[in-house]
Amino acid sequence: MIRTLIAARRTAGNVLLRRGFSTTRSTRDNLPTTNSPIVNRLNFINSVTGSSSQIPTYRVLDGVGKPIEGAELPEIDKAFAIRLYEKMMLLPAMDNVLYNIQRQGKISFYMTSHGEEATIIGSAASLASDDEILGQYREMGALLWRGFTIDEAMAQCFGNEDDTSGKGRQMPVHFGSPKYHFHTISSPLSTQIPQAAGVGYALKRDPQRRSKNVAACFFGEGAASEGDFHAGFMLASTIPSPTLYICRNNGFAISTPSTEQYYGDGIAARGPGYGIDTIRVDGNDIFAVMNAVTEARKRCLEQGRAVLVEAMTYRVGHHSTSDDSFAYRARAEVEDRKRIDNPITRFRLFMESQGWWNEEAETELKARIRADVMAAFKRAEALKRCELGELFTDVYGGEEPWNIKEQREELSGLLKKYGQVWEPWRNELSKYKNNGRDLTGS
């Protein structure tokens, strides 16, 4: 059968040649649906670099904050450097307090950014303040960079009446802010990845924002194992949009190390598969992150296409307050990473080498930040929750549907019956503004 087919093809080729065609399909240098060159050797590939080496990691500052030979520093002055450093330092200060508050049972949950300060602040500082951010959950620093206050962050975590993110209806760290173009975090992993491709496309279609804004999407290397990663990349690749994907590769997805998360060359190797410009960067080097994100953003806008940045870092903290990471990794490994590759220390050493920072400034900053965070915590703790009836608002636009009405009436009935006579309910009601009277009517 095969021999017959080959013979038929040869005959067809000869016929074409005899009719004056200079080439046949089998002798052209590529096939009709691809520009791939024809070769005569079996060449299996398993690397996007062309050799079998891994994609390199871009770096500007070495482990002790010294610029590496030939690397370009971002153009920043002392004031901007101090702003970066202050925000990097604010993150662990807030993380430590909020983590402990959760341990005291005052908030239900928390997630820290320990170890990822350079990736988060460096990226945020390289975006325009009105670029749309779609985060995963560890990106509180991007909001703080844009002007979200410590009070606002505390209010969200406490779910109190000042919570501008969601009136206390979301879990802690599920921030959102239309004012700061920060789309509300949602717990199911990777949903933000296809959504970002859509946001990028909407930006491209808007004459006011076309070539001006990108959709910046943060996700973890673990989230990249979800189907939505591929759906999102497919969308951004085939329906081009200025979507800037920033993967925080911190080595863990809760207890699953990245070595069990993929067999290929990290997340970066997937970008070229989708025809997406890609770079891998040292995520503990704030200057490398800034240069990479600045260039990636420029490409997004100039080409109207997605770009991928994979920031290599290490999750120093536990995954969340629901995790004890020493159950699956050695304490010594974490201590080593904290010491050797600390993104904050690296940047501080650079600042000191420029004469922009010293011990005195460090002591003053730490004391000021600590006082600010503690004061915000006290204020947040003293505030009540929103009115209980807010539980039912903002679910749908337009007229309230019957099912929401029915649920409100049911709760209202139960509260009238048991709200004051049963102690757990009485205690709980006292935490709401007006003690739930908007529903009980008394």
Ligand X SMILES: Cc1ncc(C[n+]2csc(CCOP(=O)(O)OP(=O)(O)O)c2C)c(N)n1
Q: Please report, as ranges, the residues that interact with ligand X according to CB under 6 A.
A: 138, 187-189, 220-223, 226, 248, 250, 252-254, 315, 319
Q: Give CA angle at 248 (243, 253), nearest 5°.
A: 125
**44 vs 263 by CB, closer to Mg ion:** 263
Smallest distance, ligand X to C-beta of residue 42, A: 37
The entry of Mg ion, ligand X, none that residue 319 binds, CB within 5 to 8 Å by partner kind: ligand X
By the rule CB under 5 A, 250 interacts with Mg ion: yes
The C-alpha torsion from 76 through 80 and 85 to 90, rounded to 10°, is: -150
The continuous run of DSSP H or E covering 133 comes out as: strand 132-134
| Nearest residue (CB) to Mg ion, 189 versus 439 | 189
Q: What are phi and psi of 308, to 5 degrees?
A: -120, 130
- Of 254 and 404, which CB lies nearer to ligand X in the complex structure? 254
Q: Cα angle vertex 105, ends 145, 395, to 5°? A: 65
Q: Which of 135, 220, 240, 317 is close enough to bind Mg ion by CB under 5 A? A: 220
Q: What is the DSSP string of 58-90?
A: B-SB-TTSPBPTTPPPP---HHHHHHHHHHHHH
- Judged by beta carbon, residue 138 or residue 183, the one nearer ligand X is 138
Q: Is 283 in the site for Mg ion (CB under 5 A)?
A: no
Q: Which does 86 bind (CB under 5 to 8 A by kind): Mg ion, ligand X, none?
A: none
248 or 337: whose CB is closer to ligand X?
248
Q: How far is CA 44 from the centre of its chain?
A: 34
Q: Which is nearer to ligand X, 257 or 401 (CB)?
A: 257
CA distance 422 to 419: 6
Instruction: Tell me how far, at minimum, the Cβ of 365 lies from ligand X, in Å.
Output: 26
Binding partner of 188, given ligand X, Mg ion, none, CB within 5-8 angstroms per partner class: ligand X
Q: Report what 214 binds from ligand X, Mg ion, none; CB cut-off 5-8 Å by kind.
A: none
173 vs 369, which CB is nearer to Mg ion? 173
The answer to whether residues 173 and 111 touch, using CB atoms and an 8 Å cutoff, is yes
Q: How far is the CB of 324 from Mg ion (least distance, A)?
A: 17
If binding is defined by CB under 5 A, does position 136 make contact with Mg ion? Answer: no
The CA-based angle 105-108-110, given to 5 degrees, is 105
Instruction: Please report whether residue 317 would count as binding Mg ion according to CB under 5 A.
Output: no
At closest approach, how far in Å is the CB of 247 from ligand X?
9
Burial (CB count <10 Å: 0-12, 13-18, 19+), residue 113:
buried
> Taking the complex as a whole, how short is the minimal distance between the CB of residue 250 and ligand X, in angstroms?
5
266 is an interface residue for Mg ion by CB under 5 A: no
Residue 240 binds Mg ion, judged by CB under 5 A: no
Angle at 156 between CA 152 and CA 160, to 5 degrees: 95
Indicate the helix (H) or strand (E) that contains 233: helix 227-238
Q: Is 222 in the site for Mg ion (CB under 5 A)?
A: yes
For residues 223 and 312, which CB has a smaller minimum distance to ligand X in the complex? 223
254 binds, among ligand X, Mg ion, none (CB under 5 to 8 A by kind): ligand X
Is residue 93 within 8 A of residue 142, CB to CB? The reply is no
CA angle 18, 21, 27 (to 5 degrees): 105
To 10 degrees, what angle do helices 117-125 and 286-303 make? 40
Intra-chain end-to-end CA distance of the chain, in Å: 89
Spatial separation of the C-alpha atoms in residues 127 and 116, rounded to whole Å: 17
Smallest gap from residue 57 Cβ to ligand X (A): 18
Nearest to ligand X of 220, 266 (CB atom): 220
SS (HEC) of 321-376: CCCCHHHCCCHHHHHHHHHHCCHHHHHHHHHHHCCCCCHHHHHHHHHHHHHHHHHH
The entry of Mg ion, ligand X, none near residue 37 (CB within 5 to 8 angstroms by kind) is none
Q: Which does 202 bind (CB under 5 to 8 A by kind): Mg ion, ligand X, none?
A: none
Which listed range, 66-74, 168-176, 247-255, 426-434, lies at the site for Mg ion (CB under 5 A)?
247-255
Assess contact for 26 and 9: CB atoms under 8 A. Answer: yes
**Residue with smaller CB distance to ligand X, 105 or 188:** 188
Residue nearest to ligand X (CB): 220
Q: Is 232 in the site for Mg ion (CB under 5 A)?
A: no
- Kindly list the residues in this chain that would bind Mg ion in the complex (CB under 5 A): 220-222, 250, 253
